[in-house]
Structure 1
Amino acid sequence: MAIEEIKKPLQDRPRAWVDKLGNRDPLPELAPSSDWDSYLTSEISAASPEEIFVEVPADLELALCFQSGMLLWNDALEPSHTLSQSLHSATGSYWHGIMHRREPDFGNAKYWFRKVGDHAAYRSLAEAAVLLLRDYGDGYSQTFKSELEVGTWDAFGFVDRCEKAVRGKEPPEVVDLLEKIQEMEIKNLLLWCLQNG
């Protein structure tokens, strides 16, 4: 997922946020305990749509969804939650579900994913995840890839995978893989917000 595609419709300062988040090390944790960069959280939270976008999207709710997603990418769960809980669309519920999965409140995450339904962004996420998983030869990755190839993105299954990892029931290499897919999910949904706003 190209960072450049996400940066294209943004003002200069938000482009710098995307660069910083796109180069962050380590990747966003499955269950972060604090913001990755508190200054960045302040900047993203304080920005208006006019300060974020070159042309403000016609759908202001998707603009706020994008802002909520940027906060999640920065591990700023509470500010993201403040935004997403007021967004009553499938996309707002998707961000809300991701936030609760990372909180980690897995049951609540599934509640919000039920409200999402079959989101249009799931297909591109499943395709990108399959491409990533092809590079892994272990049984876990191949099983995950096979599940995605016969269907679409399974938000509930991903919640279950993350819960198992967060509870220490998966080896570090599986946690790393899930973090890569989680970041892919965040970038995919950010891009979807931009393309559909």
Structure 2
Amino acid sequence: MSGIWGLIDCRPGVSPRFSSGVTLDLVLERLEAGETPKQLIAALNLTPAGLIAALGHAALGDDQAEGVGLVQSPPSRPWLEPALSDSAWQSLLPAVPRSARLALVAGLFQIHDFWEASHEAAQQADGLGERAVSAYWHGIAHRREPDSGNASYWFRRVGQHSIFEPLAESVRRLLATLPDRSLGDHLLNGNQWNPFGFISLCRDGKPTPALAPLARRLQRREMIALLEATAFAIGFG
């Protein structure tokens, strides 16, 4: 995968790492020990884009993983909260407008299950006029709340999004591995991802047991695509 996601090598049998040899485990260990993101990237010779990639991989895993739950749950790494905050990223990205930085923070908080913090950051970004990605993260937050009505409102605010076409292609490849491919009619509008079809599939966070693992894998791909778009909006990728 191109963009920031490809900064981490996560081949099977290899501990996820950067090309420099710095491992994802080391990044997480140092953050857990209390290093700030700014201290971390200086010590390990990383970039802000690399740290975004590392945090994304930590939350969403490799291609065999299902990613985060369809419904919010307590964060599995509560000690990460300071590293995901706006103040931490302000020190790393001082030239990035606060609205765009808050959209990034909303995404990072969401994929790491800091639901309230993600929702607040998305709301603030929207209030400051950010239009590229914050409404999408806001919609995901309400889908995972779960509040399908509010999620639908925010996805109507999203309108057509740049990730819909590449996401649809990724989803089409995944659905092609299933015996019943009719689900594609529900989740895709031609060559575009249908977020409302996915809200329906995940309604109240309770898809049928047979579809729950698939729904999580679909959400994982959506979150990766949106994290890439969020990074692109602030100049990475």
TM class by shorter chain equals: 0.7 to 0.9
- Name the counterpart of 1:95: 137
Which of 29, 32, 35 is the matching residue for 2:75?
35
| 1:134–1:149 Cα change, 3 Å | farther
| 1:174–1:82 Cα change, 3 Å | same
Q: Tell whether the 8 Å contact from 1:90 to 1:115 is kept in structure 2 after alignment.
A: no
Work out the CA distance in 2 between the residues paired with 1:74 and 1:190.
12
Residue 61 of structure 1, CA deviation? 2.7
Bigger CA radius of gyration: 2
- Name the counterpart of 2:6: 4
Work out the CA distance in 2 between the residues paired with 1:109 and 1:100.
5
Residue 75 of structure 1, CA deviation? 1.5
Question: More helix by proportion, 1 or 2?
Answer: 1
CA offset digits 1:144-190 (Å, max 9, x no partner): 234526241111111111016x23x502x310111011111111011
**RMSD over aligned Cα, in angstroms?**
2.7
- Name the counterpart of 2:160: 118
**Per the alignment, in what secondary structure is the counterpart of residue 94 of structure 1?**
helix
- Name the counterpart of 1:63: 101
Q: Tell whether the 8 Å contact from 1:36 to 1:76 is kept in structure 2 after alignment.
A: no
**Per the alignment, in what secondary structure is the counterpart of residue 135 of structure 1?**
coil
Residue 48 of structure 1, CA deviation? 1.9
Q: Tell whether 2:86 aligns with 1:48.
A: no
Q: Tell whether the 8 Å contact from 1:31 to 1:102 is kept in structure 2 after alignment.
A: yes
| 1:22–1:155 Cα change, 3 Å | closer
Work out the CA distance in 1 between the residues paired with 2:174 and 2:97.
32
* Greater RCO (CA < 8 Å, at least 6 residues apart): 1
Q: TM-score w.r.t. structure 2 length?
A: 0.69
Match for 2:74: what amino acid?
S
**Per the alignment, in what secondary structure is the counterpart of residue 69 of structure 2?**
coil
Q: TM-score w.r.t. structure 1 length?
A: 0.81
- Structure 2: segments with no counterpart, 5+ residues: 9-17, 19-45
Work out the CA distance in 2 between the residues paired with 1:130 and 1:160.
18
Residue 26 of structure 1, CA deviation? 6.0
Which of 51, 56, 80 is the matching residue for 1:18?
56
Structure 1 range deviating more: 151-160 or 8-17? 8-17
- Structure 1: segments with no counterpart, 5+ residues: none
Work out the CA distance in 2 between the residues paired with 1:116 and 1:158.
15
Residue 94 of structure 1, CA deviation? 0.8
* Pairs aligned (count): 188
| 1:160–1:15 Cα change, 3 Å | closer
Work out the CA distance in 1 between the residues paired with 2:228 and 2:49.
15
**Per the alignment, in what secondary structure is the counterpart of residue 78 of structure 1?**
helix
Work out the CA distance in 2 between the residues paired with 1:31 and 1:47.
27
Q: Tell whether the 8 Å contact from 2:59 to 2:111 is kept in structure 1 after alignment.
A: yes
